[in-house]
């Protein structure tokens, strides 16, 4: 699929799902790494990550397009176009657009936490997962104020 076919697909989805024309440009942007698509506020263009089409298929691409068109149409109409806005949430639900795109099964997917340090409360057994070390002499359990002990990630208590 090239940019011209993508433009036609976006225009078709816009008319079919939203009942409104898409009057700006839609194109693939190979520099997008961690997101499926992007709506540009200044130019009103829609950029799509080609890897989502190649690795996850046409269905995922249509979902990303619907999501970006929600931003587009609401912004053009002067309504709430941000993820946290109620207008955006309602329109996404109405057209069946996904809130997030699926993770890519490749290099850009995060492979879990880099470092998972587990602290365990001696009194109540509460576990705390942290990325950084904490001073167990200074900090106590938030649940029962008991002493915290650092344990290994593979160990079970």
Between the alpha carbon of residue 145 and those of residues 51, 138, 140, 149, 152, the distances in Å are 49, 11, 5, 13, 21
> Catalytic one among 5, 54, 68, 155?
68
Known catalytic residue at 68? yes
d(CA 134, CA 120): 12
Closest CA to 88 of 69, 60, 101: 69
Active site residues per annotation? 68
């Amino acid at each position: 699929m090239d940019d011209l076919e993508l433009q036609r697909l976006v225009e078709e989805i816009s008319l079919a799902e939203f009942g409104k024309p898409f009057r700006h440009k839609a194109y693939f942007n190979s520099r997008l790494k961690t997101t499926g698509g992007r709506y540009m506020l200044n130019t009103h263009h829609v950029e799509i990550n080609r890897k989502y089409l190649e690795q996850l298929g046409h269905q995922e691409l249509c979902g990303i397009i619907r999501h970006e068109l929600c931003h587009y149409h609401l912004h053009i109409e002067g309504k709430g176009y941000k993820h946290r806005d109620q207008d955006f949430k309602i329109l996404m639900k109405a057209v069946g657009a996904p809130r997030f795109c699926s993770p890519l099964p490749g290099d850009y997917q995060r492979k879990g936490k880099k470092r998972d340090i587990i602290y365990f409360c001696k009194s109540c057994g509460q576990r705390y997962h942290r990325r950084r070390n904490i001073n167990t002499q200074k900090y106590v359990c938030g649940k029962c104020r008991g002493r915290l002990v650092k344990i290994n990630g593979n160990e079970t208590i």
